[in-house]
Amino acid sequence: MLLVRGGQTLSGSVTVSGSKNAALPLIAAALFFKKATLRNVPDISDVRTLLSIVRSVGAKAEFENNVLRIEAGDMKKDGMDLALVSKIRASIMLVPAFLKAFGSVDIPYPGGCNIGKRPIDVFVNGFLEIGYSGTSSDSGVSLSGKPKEGDVEFSAGFAVTATESLILANVLRKGKTRIFLSAIEPHVISLVDFLNAHGAKISVGYDHTMEIEGVEALSEEAE
């Protein structure tokens, strides 16, 4: 039994931490800029792991007092820490930036989910739809090539990570992208707002349709 005696005055303050689900895709998006600053980033293991992967390919990432500063610089895939990639599911959101920088990506199947191995078919199919070549298996994902020009449309199957990754993959692609059944949770909209604030052209409908008009370039710096 729970007994509550009221009539007491409450006082004090609470620091509200930033959202993990918002921070992780924003870290992936930061690699599209020369410099990016993110604030109120939660200091948790998934964030630290994702930053370690980012550093392993040569990007700079300074994280202190919940402020994250990233410089993408001249990234190289040779040093990519594949063990860490396989540790967290969020690592798959780095694929768009890595494809842009390297032209190809070969990574182990992303893990880190307590509910077991989750499918990534929607993610891979989306990349194939926009012109990349590749395969996926129980062991990993392999993608290469360049995005094609022109208008495309496909479904994201309401998958949050796939929606976020495909937003990043299409924001600079020449042409219009129409994504049906896109996820529109608050952290997805946070990514959309961040990109739109720095030059992207993305619109979101409450019918879960997302339209992306590819732009020539984003701003050099983001905050």
113's tokens: 């989910």
**Amino acid identity at 182:** S
How many beta carbons lie within 10 A of that of residue 191, not counting itself?
24
Question: Model confidence over 175-214: pLDDT tens digits?
Answer: 999 999 999 999 999 999 999 999 999 999 999 999 999 9
- Taken in order 118, 123, 124, 126, the sign of the CA dihedral is positive
Note the residue count of the chain.
223
Integer Cα distance of 173 and 147 in angstroms = 6
Question: Model confidence over 23-34: pLDDT tens digits?
Answer: 999 999 999 999
Integer Cα distance of 13 and 152 in angstroms = 49
- Taken in order 170, 72, 123, 181, the sign of the CA dihedral is negative
Please answer whether residues 172 and 100 qualify as being in contact, where contact means their C-beta atoms are separated by less than 8 angstroms: yes
For the chain, percent of residues with pLDDT exceeding 90: 83
2's tokens: 């729970």
* Residues 6 or more apart whose Cβ sits within 8 Å of residue 27: 38, 41, 47, 50, 51, 54, 68, 70
Helix (H, G, I), strand (E, B) or coil at 141: strand
pLDDT of residue 116: 46
The catalytic position among 44, 67, 83, 113 is 113
- Strand pairing partners for 120? none
Domain boundaries, given as residue ranges, for the chain: 20-222
- Strand pairing partners for 106? 142
Give me the residues of the chain with pLDDT under 50, please.
114-116
**Amino acid identity at 213:** E
pLDDT of residue 112: 56
Q: Which CATH class is domain 20-222?
A: alpha beta
* 221-222 and 202-204 strand pairing: unpaired
Instruction: Establish whether 113 is a catalytic residue.
Output: yes
